[in-house]
Structure 1
């Protein structure tokens, strides 16, 4: 029987700092596209004649937000309370209690208790990485490497998994560990990225006007 004067302490869970996951390849490609597009667009606005400067301006207003949305913007943030997914046009905040599972297939996805599904754009699936990891595992097994035989033990299986799959394994573990915590309760919150949508729509409208009056 529990003594009311000395209540039993709740079990402590390990604290996880906010971890950020982003695609370095996507960011590099986005920066390159932005630099190239900016150089060509600004040059056309300065040196172009007739409607060319307006077409260049409209094109930049439309293209730059879209490039940012699909390359630089995507990110996944995870801590001991929630999973926050910043996709091209939306930001989804999921307390761990609202997450029913995470799945890795041809894309990485998270499912909520209500049945909603969201893709994790910042954690791309690499089929080449999976093939390389499978090849390392088969080679280790053939060579009798003991680390392969005990690959399920923490800290020993990372090299035998594709990076994206390993990240998803870590998120599943964190979800299972923290789903019952009081601070991880709540409902999903979805916010549209108007900072991306507004300039893109403005660029599309301006482009349509310039083409219409030509």
Structure 2
């Protein structure tokens, strides 16, 4: 068996995970309380709302992830899973959102790697401060050390190693999500031409998430219409 050159690395948003768990706790507490203590139509409406809301919370907070492997980039968005061979990717673009652009022209947003304008502004301030230190005769090293704190949880972005330590990782003048995109671009450049990294793009809809949400919406609509 051939040992993979690059182990899969998983990118997720810690802020989204924390927010999703908190939302599930709040919604679960309110919904269960309405089910147990509600009167009349309230328990049924609470049940329909739970069936609708819980899958949506999971879809937009806990589910999104990006899996970067040796031959494929797998993007798990709220309602779709897109598997992209590196050879089919034309570019990884960062603007107000991070997205993958394939050779056919199609674009897929990376929900798990959101752009942080706040992080970019912070990095710009750190860069300006470091440059000012250098002009005053310092090295800027103190500023660099202070700039490694991370982007609200994105410092430990990848949960499994393998992509290697990019030189971007230790740069204090880049937002953490921008560093992640730099790492993915390096992987695209190195693995894109590989024969094993060619193939077809596949898109799978997440019916396991969409179906319960649709069922909850239909049930809630019926209950509201009848009552």
- What TM bracket, shorter-length normalisation? 0.7 to 0.9
Is the counterpart of residue 195 in structure 1 residue 208 in structure 2? yes
Helix, strand or coil for the counterpart of 1:125? coil
2:86 is the alignment partner of 1:86: no
Q: For this pair of structures, how many residues does the alignment match?
A: 197
Q: Which residue of 2 aligns with 1:5?
A: none
- Partner of residue 58, structure 1: 48
Shift of 1:158: 2.5
TM-score by length of 2: 0.83
For residues 189 and 167 of structure 2, what CA distance do their matches in structure 1 show? 16
5+ residue gaps, structure 1: 1-13
Q: CA deviation at 1:112?
A: 0.4
Asked whether the equivalents of residues 168 and 179 of structure 2 are also in contact (C-alpha less than 8 Å), the reply is no
Aligned to 1:213: 226
Shift of the alpha carbon at 1:146?
7.1
Displacement of 1:15 in angstroms is: 2.0
1:54, distance to aligned residue in structure 2 (A): 0.5
- The Cα of 1:155 is off from its aligned counterpart by 5.3
- Aligned-pair CA distance for 1:154: 2.6
CA contact (8 A) 2:133 2:140 kept: no
Name the structure 1 match of 2:148.
none
**Equivalent in the alignment of 1:183:** 196
SS at match of 2:114: coil
Instruction: Show structure 1 runs of 4+ deviating over 4 A.
Output: none
Q: Which position in structure 2 is the counterpart of 1:173?
A: 186
Q: 1:98 to 1:49 in 2, by over 3 A?
A: same
**1:43 equivalent in structure 2:** 33
Counterpart secondary structure, 1:118: strand
Please state whether the residue corresponding to 1:160 is helix, strand or coil: coil
Structure 1 residue 21: Cα displacement: 0.4
Per-residue deviation, 1:156: 7.1
Q: 1:112 maps to which residue?
A: 102
> In the alignment, what sits opposite 2:21?
31
Secondary structure at the aligned position of 1:63 is classed as helix
Q: Which residue of 2 aligns with 1:134?
A: 124
SS in 2 for 1:44: helix
The structure with higher relative contact order (CA 8 Å, sep 6+) is 2
| Equivalence for 1:6 | none
- Give the 3-state SS of the residue equivalent to 1:190 in structure 2: strand
| SS, match of residue 101 in structure 1 | strand
Higher alpha-carbon Rg: 1
> 1:138 Cα shift?
1.4
Moved more, 166-175 or 153-162: 153-162
Deviations 1:73-107 (A, max 9, x none): 00000011110000011010000001000111110
1:9-28 alignment runs, 5 A limit: 15-28=5-18
